[in-house]
Amino acid sequence: MRQPFLKSFALAGGTNLALHFGHRLSVDLDLFTDQSFSEQDVFKELLVDFPTTIKTDEAKNTLSLFIEGIKVDLLAHRYPLLSSFTQEAGVRFWSIEDIIAMKLGAVSGRGAKKDFWDIAKLLDHYSLSQMLQFFAAKYANSDPGYVVRSLTYFEDAELQIDPIALNGITWPEVKDCVLRAVKELV
Task: Please state, as a whole number, how many other Cβ atoms lie within 10 Å of the Cβ of residue 163.
Answer: 22
> Alpha-carbon distance 142 to 111, whole Å?
17
Pairing of strands 62-67, 54-59: antiparallel
Q: Determine the pLDDT at residue 11.
A: 97
The pTM of this model reads: 0.92
> Alpha-carbon distance 4 to 135, whole Å?
31
Contact 178, 151 (CB under 8 A): yes
Please give the average per-residue pLDDT across 23-38, as a whole number: 94
Task: Give the pLDDT band (50/70/90) at residue 4.
Answer: confident
Q: Determine the pLDDT at residue 3.
A: 82
Please give the average per-residue pLDDT across 9-13, as a whole number: 96
Please give the average per-residue pLDDT across 20-38, as a whole number: 94
> Alpha-carbon distance 102 to 77, whole Å?
10
Q: In the predicted model, is pLDDT for residue 122 greater than 90? A: yes
Q: If you average pLDDT over every residue of the chain, what do you get?
A: 95
pLDDT digits (tens, 9 = 90+) for 128-163: 999 999 999 999 999 999 999 999 999 999 999 999
Task: Give the pLDDT band (50/70/90) at residue 2.
Answer: confident
Q: In the predicted model, is pLDDT for residue 169 greater than 80? A: yes
Task: Give the pLDDT band (50/70/90) at residue 64.
Answer: very high
Q: Determine the pLDDT at residue 84.
A: 94
Task: Give the pLDDT band (50/70/90) at residue 1.
Answer: low
> Alpha-carbon distance 127 to 131, whole Å?
6
Q: In the predicted model, is pLDDT for residue 111 greater than 80? A: yes
HEC states along the chain? CCCHHHCCEEEEHHHHHHHHHCCECCCEEEEEECCCCCHHHHHHHHHHHCCCCEEEEEECCEEEEEECCEEEEEEECCCCCCCCCEEECCEEECCHHHHHHHHHHHHHHCCCHHHHHHHHHHCCCCCHHHHHHHHHHHCCCCCHHHHHHHCCCCHHHHCCCCCCECCCCCHHHHHHHHHHHHHHHC
Q: Quick one: how far is CA 180 from the chain centroid?
A: 23
Q: Determine the pLDDT at residue 5.
A: 87
Q: In the predicted model, is pLDDT for residue 18 greater than 90? A: yes
145 burial (CB, 10 Å; 0-12 / 13-18 / 19+) is: exposed
> Alpha-carbon distance 108 to 148, whole Å?
8
